[in-house]
Amino acid sequence: MAKNEGSPGGRGVRFRLEVRLTESDVGKRAVVRWRRPAAGSREEIADVLGILEAADGTSLQIRKASGELVTIPRDRALAGKTIPPPPRDPAGRKE
């Protein structure tokens, strides 16, 4: 369980990171926070936002707006959930 030290009053707020994505969420917009490999045998925390294309016991696949398909091993996923569609642009422009 992670602890947020910066909460008002210095009490610290406890929260739990969990991956709440299943096969039933395929096709929905989702965000996943994960530990991705970085230079020098390090890891970094990254978020991926897009459409969940696949979810099983070993990995999650997210298609980003750029078209890139990101495969995230389940053991590297820290948190994940479905999110609402992006807001509509009243002028009708595309992002």
Q: Summarize pLDDT for 41-76 with one digit per residue, the tens.
A: 899 999 999 999 999 999 999 999 999 999 999 999
Does 87 fall in a domain? no
| Percent of the chain whose predicted confidence (pLDDT) is above 90 | 66
Q: What is the model's pLDDT at position 10?
A: 53
Write out the two tokens for 36. Answer: 């991705």
Q: What is the model's pLDDT at position 92?
A: 63
Does 43 fall in a domain? yes
Does 11 fall in a domain? no
Does 53 fall in a domain? yes
Q: What is the CATH number of the domain that holds 30?
A: 2.30.30
Does 39 fall in a domain? yes
Angle at CA of residue 22, ends 32 and 65, nearest 5°: 40
Does 93 fall in a domain? no
- Give the domain range for residue 63: 16-82
User: Is the pLDDT reported for residue 12 higher than 90?
Assistant: no
- Structural domains in the chain (count): 1
Does 29 fall in a domain? yes
Q: What is the model's pLDDT at position 17?
A: 87
In the chain, count of helices (H) and strands (E)? 0, 7
User: Is the pLDDT reported for residue 7 higher than 80?
Assistant: no
